[in-house]
């Protein structure tokens, strides 16, 4: 069975299937904030979506991070590193990419396992 979390007309915040949670790319709501605050907001959104799906960040298998300015790599990692539980580093890609809105400084998508 496929479960869709917060479905919309174009996308769902996440899709749950076969023991996995596929979280769509999350972006911040506060587009005036600096990279660190935007990253913290995005990671908090991911926490909430994973909780709604019945899992958490310790079970993230893969993460994709898009930064429109790769110069923000260290600032993003300054938020990512303490957010991630020790010993739970997922496979991850981080690339520089133009995002849908120039004010967005980070977008993150993850795949996580469900418990059991």
User: Residue 68's domain spans which residues?
Assistant: 20-113
Question: Cα separations (Å) of 68 from 7, 32, 75, 93?
Answer: 26, 15, 13, 14
The rounded distance, in Å, linking the Cα atoms of 57 and 39 is: 15
Tokens, residue 16: 């749950």
pLDDT score at 2: 98
CB atoms within 10 A of CB 83: 14
Any domain includes 107 = yes
Domain count, the chain: 1
CATH of residue 63 = 3.30.1330.40
Q: Is the pLDDT of residue 14 over 90?
A: yes
Q: Is the pLDDT of residue 30 over 90?
A: yes
**pLDDT (average), residues 72-80:** 98
Residues in CB range of 34: below 8 A, 6 or more apart = 75, 105
Q: What is the mean pLDDT of the chain?
A: 98
Any domain includes 11 = no
The rounded distance, in Å, linking the Cα atoms of 47 and 40 is: 10
pLDDT score at 46: 98
Any domain includes 3 = no
pLDDT score at 116: 86
**pLDDT (average), residues 92-116:** 97
């Amino acid at each position: 069975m496929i479960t869709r979390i917060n479905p919309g007309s174009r996308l769902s915040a996440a899709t749950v299937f076969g023991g996995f949670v596929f979280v769509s790319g999350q972006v911040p709501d506060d587009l005036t904030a600096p990279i660190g605050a935007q990253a913290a907001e995005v990671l908090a959104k991911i926490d909430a979506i994973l909780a709604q799906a019945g899992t958490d960040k310790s079970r993230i298998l893969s993460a994709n991070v898009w930064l429109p300015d790769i110069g923000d790599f260290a600032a993003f990692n300054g938020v990512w590193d303490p957010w991630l539980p020790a010993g739970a580093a997922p496979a991850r890609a981080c690339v520089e990419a133009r995002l849908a809105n120039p004010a967005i400084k980070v977008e993150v998508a993850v795949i996580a396992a469900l418990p059991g």
